Structures are given as structure tokens and as C-alpha cells.
Amino acid sequence: MSKPIFTSPTIIRRDINNDIVSPSSPTNKQMSLLTSAMNSPDNAATLSFPKEKIKVLLLENIHSVAIQNFKDQGFNVESLSSALSEDQLIEKIKDVHVLGLRSKTKVTAKVLAEAKRLMAIGCFCIGTDQVDLPFAESRGVPVFNSPFCNSRSVEKKSAELMIAEIIVLSRKIGDRSREMHNKVWRKESKNCHEIRGKVLGIIGYGHIGSQLSVLAEAMGMNVVYYDTARKLPLGNSKACPDMKSLLEMSNYVTLHVPDTEQTRNMIGKDELAMMRSDAYLLNASRGKVVDIAALADALKGGRLAGAAVDVYPSEPEANCNDWENVLQGCPNTILTPHIGGSTEEAQEAIGSEVSELITCFINTGGSEGSVNFPEISIPVSEETHRILNIHHNKPGVLRDINLILSEFNVSSQILSTRKQIGYIIADVDKEASKEIKRKISALPHSIKTRVLY
């Protein structure tokens, strides 16, 4: 899981070249630590940032380790405990360079269109469905996440949570506990079962699903899974040819798929009807994957033995005391407020990983770990300046860039493309960087160009 991460701005090591520095603070030595020259429509003139002018907006209570990492870089950090609505975000995003969020803030095309200075987005979680990734890509904004750190609590944290819920459902602990709090002593074993020897059906056998598979087998369960991609079966687990066969044979069905057009409402009335009437459904993936009205009907009608739900089609932006949901009051139903990734261990690891990926991108241009951007990095050199160029991926653009570069001494160069954009890093002679930057910025297909030195 660990990737080499640059936490310090090693490429930038001397006083800023006055030709490139913003006239507003030419003597600030700090400015030598980071110079960013972006040619987006709003800041076509060369811009150089003192580090404290890099504005980082963190939403949804991101772990303090991330705040500290950004502050250690000298960035200006604002951290809020809740999500922001689209309108609130549009208002705030205008002068933000780095946006950090978790699962609730929606970064729509409308928001991104206003984000003229945005250099990077950090999803301090696994899922990235809350960000319009193609639009961010088209604007040259890389999105980073933490695909692994969250996993054991969801995989690891979450996988641990799922194991806990499987046992709690099987022994009806939720209902018994609620009764005890209401003075009811009801000791019974009817419809309570061991999990050993039971079939766990995992839909989505990725990081979380496969971690869960290992834990479940260790507890004596038989694991089957269904995934649209070919997956290596871990331990004795077995792939199902289709979702129907998994639904029919499983005592527990657990969902670990991303939110996509294909997975929305993938469990509805028909799929619930395929499940055994003594089976349980668990969903800690995304709320829209399950039709919760149909699930509530099945639970109330006794057509399912219970459910554990962590995610909902609509979730509040912050903690509240007036949350309402159709699943409230359903028998043997555990409802949790999207806590699959909420352990201190996971939040700290995520905070650290994502802030380091973003810092690396800002300080060196290295884009490894991005989910919507060409992933490249090359070692930094003391001897050169670094040109970073993001451009529309059109025929001829590389020829035009290389024509410019061919006039100068280039010590290293790397290019990678995705559907819409190309990203090039070139290390060039120090004296030439300003001119190269100016020429490449002027190319019709350039989206953003930065110089690091």
C-alpha cells in the first residue's frame, strides 16, 4: 500500500528568480519554496505563491494530522467540521487551492466551474463518487483518495464492522438491547444462530470485500462472492457466476461496490425476493445501491430476517437530532450513521496519506495516487527547474510542446495521458524555465502550466 511520498519540497531550494516572482512580495524567501504559475483563464499572468497564500479548505472534520501536515508546509488551512451545500461551496471555493472532504460534500461541475484556483482535491476516504471526476479532469484538477487506509475498519474498520454486525444480527442483539433499555427482559433462542458454517455472500470483492472474506473464513463462515471484474478468490471463497445465485444461496448478503450507474438500486424488490427469508442484508457501501423503501417493506413483512445499514440515499451534512428514515422501527435492523470508516486509526492514516499525496503534487508535480489524472513522477534534481504542463489530449499537442522544448536543454521528461488530458513533467535549464513556461502556456491546448524551482 505504501507509495514513495515526497513530504518536503525538495525540488525548490533557493531564492526565487525575480523574473518569475509575483511583484507583490519579491523579497519573501519563503516564496522560493513554491512557485506556481498557472495559466487558467482567470490567472493567465504568471503567479507565484508564497506558501501561506496556498489556501487549503478542509471539510467534514478531517483528522488533525492532515491539518498539521499542511500547516507544516506553511499553507493557510481552514478546517470545518461539517460538509457544505453546493451554494455554500460555490461561495467559498473561489480562492481555494486545495479542497479536502469526506463522503458528504458534493463537488459538482457547477462548483468546479467556480474553482478557478483549485490545484487538487483530496477525498479523505475511499469513495470518490461525490466528485465530478471527469469534469475535474477536464479542468486539470487531480483528485486523490485513500484506497487502503480505510479498509480494515471498513475493510479492516469496515470489515471489522461487518463481522460485528453479522454476529449482532444473528443473535438479535440490537432488539434485545433496546428492550432491556425499555425494562423488557426477554431471554429466547428462537431464530438466533451461530455464524459458523453459514454462507456469507459478498457483492463487490475489492479491497473491503476481500478483507471481509478473510475475516469471515477465519470465523468458520463459507464465503461466496460476485464481482463484475475477475477476482482472485482468497482462501476457500468461491466466485458466483451471477448475482442471482449469490442472493439465493447466502445467509448474509453484504454489499461492497462503488456508487455507479450500474450499482444504483442494484438491490431492489426483485433482488430482495430472491433472498432466503431467514437471510440478512448488510450495506456499508453507498446508500443509493439499495432501494430502502423496498428493504423496509421486506423487513416489516418478515421476508428477511434483518438488516444492517450504514449508508443512506440522503445523509445530513452534519450531526443532528432530527434524522428520519423509512428503516426506523424495522425489526432486527441495525442503523449506523455512516461510520464504516470512522475509527481513530483509520482517520489518522487517511489524514496522513491524502495530505502527503497532495503535498507531493504541489511541491514536485508527482501525481501518483490520483484517481482521475495521469499518474507520473520523476526524481527531483538540484540542477534544474521543473515545468509542469496539463493540456487537452489532442493530436499535435505533444509535437507543439516538444518543438518548444527542443530549443532548450531538457534533462528529464515524462508524459502520460488520460481520456481528456495529458500531463507532462520536464526538467530544464534554470535560465530557460521562464521562457519555456511562457511559450508552453501560450499553446492553444494548454490548460495549466507551473514552474517549480
Ligand X SMILES: NC(=O)C1=CN([C@@H]2O[C@H](COP(=O)(O)OP(=O)(O)OC[C@H]3O[C@@H](n4cnc5c(N)ncnc54)[C@H](O)[C@@H]3O)[C@@H](O)[C@H]2O)C=CC1
Positions touching ligand X (CB under 6 A) are 126-127, 147, 150-151, 154, 158, 203-209, 226-229, 256-260, 262-263, 284-286, 310-311, 338, 340-341
Q: Per the residue annotation, which of 286, 386, 391, 450 is the catalytic one?
A: 286
Applying CB under 6 A, which part among 18-26, 121-129, 165-173, 327-335 lies near ligand AKG?
A: 121-129
CA dihedral 261, 307, 325, 184 (to 10 degrees): 180
**Site membership for ligand AKG, residue 283 (CB under 6 A):** no
Strands (E), 163-228: 199-203, 222-226
For the chain, the residue count is 453
How far apart CA 60 and CA 232 sit, in angstroms, is: 35
| Cβ proximity to ligand AKG, 126 vs 212, nearer residue | 126
Q: Give the nearest distance from C-beta 338 to ligand AKG in angstroms.
A: 6
Question: 100, 204, 206, 341: which one contacts ligand AKG (CB under 6 A)?
Answer: 341
**CB nearer to ligand AKG: pick between 313 and 331:** 313
Member of 126, 161, 296, 421 binding ligand AKG (CB under 6 A): 126
Would residue 338 show up in a list of annotated catalytic residues for this protein?
yes
Cα separation, 350 vs 146, in Å, equals 6
Q: Choosing from 256, 338, 391, 450, which is the catalytic residue?
A: 338
Q: Please choose which of ligand AKG, ligand X, none residue 140 contacts, taking the beta carbon within 5 to 8 angstroms, the exact cut-off set by kind.
A: none
Q: Which of the choices ligand X, ligand AKG, none does residue 285 contact, using the CB cut-off of 5 to 8 A by kind?
A: ligand X
For ligand AKG (CB under 6 A), the number of binding residues is 9
Residue 150, interface with ligand AKG (CB under 6 A)? yes
CA-CA-CA-CA torsion sign (42, 355, 287, 140)? positive
Closest C-alpha among 305, 326, 331, 338 to residue 153: 338
| Closest CB to ligand X among residues 63, 207 | 207
Q: Is 406 exposed, middle or buried (0-12, 13-18, 19+ CB in 10 A)?
A: exposed
CB 174 to ligand AKG: min, Å = 22
| Percentage helix, strand, coil for the chain under 3-state DSSP, each rounded to 5 | 30, 20, 50
Q: Is 446 helix (H, G, I), strand (E, B) or coil?
A: strand
For CA atoms 235, 241, 247, 250, the dihedral sign is negative
- 122: contact with ligand AKG by CB under 6 A: no
Which of 127, 287, 365, 422: binder of ligand AKG (CB under 6 A)?
127
103 belongs to the binding site for ligand AKG (CB under 6 A): yes
By CB under 6 A, which span of 119-127, 159-167, 176-184, 434-442 interacts with ligand AKG? 119-127
Distance CA 400, CA 406 (A): 10
Active site includes 171? Answer: no
- The β-bridge relationship of strands 199-203 and 120-123 is unpaired
Least separation, in Å, of the C-beta of 390 and ligand X? Answer: 26
In the complex, minimum distance from the CB of residue 58 to ligand X, in angstroms, rounded to a whole number: 18
**What are the backbone dihedrals phi and psi of residue 124, each rounded to the nearest 5 degrees, phi first?**
-85, 60
Q: Are 436 and 406 in contact (CB under 8 A)?
A: no
Question: Looking at beta carbons only, is 36 or 145 nearer to ligand X?
Answer: 145
Q: How far is the CB of 317 from ligand AKG (least distance, A)?
A: 12
Choice between 84 and 447, CB closer to ligand AKG: 84
286 belongs to the catalytic site: yes
CA gap 318, 307 in Å, rounded: 24
CB count, 10 Å around CB of 133?
19
Site for ligand AKG (CB under 6 A): which residue of 53, 63, 92, 102?
102
14-51 burial: b if 16+ Cβ within 10 Å, else e:
eebbeebbbeeeeebeebbbbbbbbbbeeeeebbbbbb
The cell numbers describing 270, all together, are 426483485
- 101 touching ligand AKG, by CB under 6 A: no
Residues known to be catalytic = 286, 315, 338
Residues near ligand AKG, by CB under 6 A: 102-103, 125-127, 150, 340-342
